[in-house]
Structure 1
């Protein structure tokens, strides 16, 4: 017998774990076609599958196309690519900083002998 997941179970599956998310308050809130306003986005730490087709160096470089492609995969509330394209420059810069903080956390906690070395 199969069971249907409840709304609470579905929501729990998409709720970021503590320390694995960053919340960004938007300087210029997004206004959806239905009139709803999004004033903050919670970004989940991306999993490898969510990075499919993207290059980590492009995220690090703050490439707008890459960030816009990634946001619908990891943002809560979920936004579309066209909504991500409407983000203000200051907001996309803040979001990029939040994404980079996921990488910094790992690099700061690695022992010096394991820290990445420049090539």
Structure 2
């Protein structure tokens, strides 16, 4: 499940299925808010729809530690969805977030 954001520009995701890469196990990934240039070549609507190909291209640009495409391909679907949800949250304008909030 997602932890509280560490800042408005970054969020931490605890992976349900940690990524093992050699001697390193990644159990938490930080996702930072992308800058406009990091969205180059990507469709915002595809990202908001959690399109796999769009997220596969964006996530290596904005994750800490930097996830490779191979790690993303092998990722548990629930973890991929968590990361995509964080990206979607960063892309939504404040007004849209307020309209979606159950507290108004």
TM-score band (shorter)? 0.7 to 0.9
Partner of 1:23: 12
Q: Provide the alpha-carbon RMSD of the alignment.
A: 2.0
The equivalences for 1:98-117 within 5 A come to: 98-104=86-92, 106-108=94-96
Question: Which of structures 1 and 2 has the bigger CA Rg?
Answer: 1
Q: Are 1:42 and 2:27 matched, yes or no?
A: no
1:18 to 1:81, Cα distance in 2 relative to 1, 3 A: same
- Deviating beyond 2 angstroms after TM superposition, the runs of 4 or more aligned structure 1 residues are 103-110
**What TM-score do you get using the length of structure 1 for normalisation?**
0.71
Structure 1: 5+ residue runs without aligned partners?
1-16, 113-119
1:108 to 1:90, Cα distance in 2 relative to 1, 3 A: same
Paired residues in the alignment total: 94
Partner of 1:67: 55
Residue 85 of structure 1 and its aligned partner are, at CA, apart by: 1.2
Higher strand share: 2
